[in-house]
Structure 1
């Protein structure tokens, strides 16, 4: 049986890029989680690893499996050990050829997995730099590490978000109009509805 594994980081991301073609003969496994979470700890990743009838898995790109080189290689080894063929669509190659490991696949995937891990580290470094600049300018409004905020206190800081959500504005529009992050809008929505 064939399967297609899809991972998006947030619920508001579009799946269409990973579903460009129709795949009627594939069972879909869709995770909404960070690429930093190990594959075997993801809800659908775990299901896929335990699905004994799956013999062929497609992914759009190798970074859908993860953003950690060791985790990706561990997942690939599991597929190899269980004779599961992995096809990476954007590369057009498969992990097994004639039931044997494809050395070119391993080389290319190792390089791309390493790049994927570096991209994540770069993104986190930029985030830290941005926070440091905001702190220096006195604009950082982050919560003190280790402190907890009640739901009421949290909601009291975002009356505009509540107003736009109650009017029926979309999450993205509400975030733009209120000048807050999409994540903040999602958290407010989860607490008020």
Structure 2
């Protein structure tokens, strides 16, 4: 069976319809989550890893699997151990190739290239977060930072709608700290959502 894994960060980036047309023979697994969440802890990532008879997985780019080098390498190891070919579209390379005799073998260049790109992806995320922090500090220093208006409050429905992943994790029985880590938010945010749920 062939599959295609797609990860988008926000629901408004929905490309599922387009992908069904472009990849009609591949079963789609689409996650809407941060790339910092480990692959085997994502709803569709877990389903993909446990799919029986899977022989091939395609992704648009390596950062769709994750933004953490160790996590990406762990996912690749799972694919290798189960003889699943991974193809990365934007690089045009596969994890397993055929030799002159037609036998399948690991692509020696694949792991090297992927390791380098996964490292770059991880650094990009760290740089992005650092720039975001610096931008907020600079805006605060200039007096132009526009956070939420002091004293204003979001309705419980608005808060729950903003953090569906937190609600899901809490309902699954994850601890507050683990939920904060998985959803890439502060512990205070998780506590606020839990209070509303209760």
TM-score w.r.t. structure 2 length?
A: 0.69
Structure-2 residue corresponding to 1:102: 107
Residue 61 (str. 1) matches residue 61 (str. 2):
yes
Number of residue-to-residue matches in the alignment: 150
- Report the aligned-residue RMSD: 2.6
Structure-1 residue corresponding to 2:134: 129
Deviation at 1:138, TM superposition (A): 2.8
Relative contact order, CA 8 A, sep 6+: which one is greater? 2
Distance in 2 (CA, whole Å) between partners of 1:133 and 1:4 is 41
Spell out the pairing of 1:121-160 with structure 2 (5 A cutoff): 121-142=126-147, 153-155=153-155
Cα shift readout 1:87-142 (whole Å, capped 9, x = no counterpart): 00111111012332211011111111111111111100110001111221233354
Unaligned runs of 5+ in 1: 144-148, 159-193
Structure-1 residue corresponding to 2:76: 76
Residue 43 (str. 1) matches residue 55 (str. 2):
no
3-state SS, counterpart of residue 12 of structure 1:
helix
TM-score w.r.t. structure 1 length?
A: 0.71
Deviation at 1:19, TM superposition (A): 3.1
Distance in 1 (CA, whole Å) between partners of 2:55 and 2:30 is 18
Q: Which moved more, 1:6-15 or 1:39-48?
A: 6-15
Unaligned runs of 5+ in 2: 99-103, 159-198
3-state SS, counterpart of residue 76 of structure 1:
helix
Moved over 4 A (4+): none
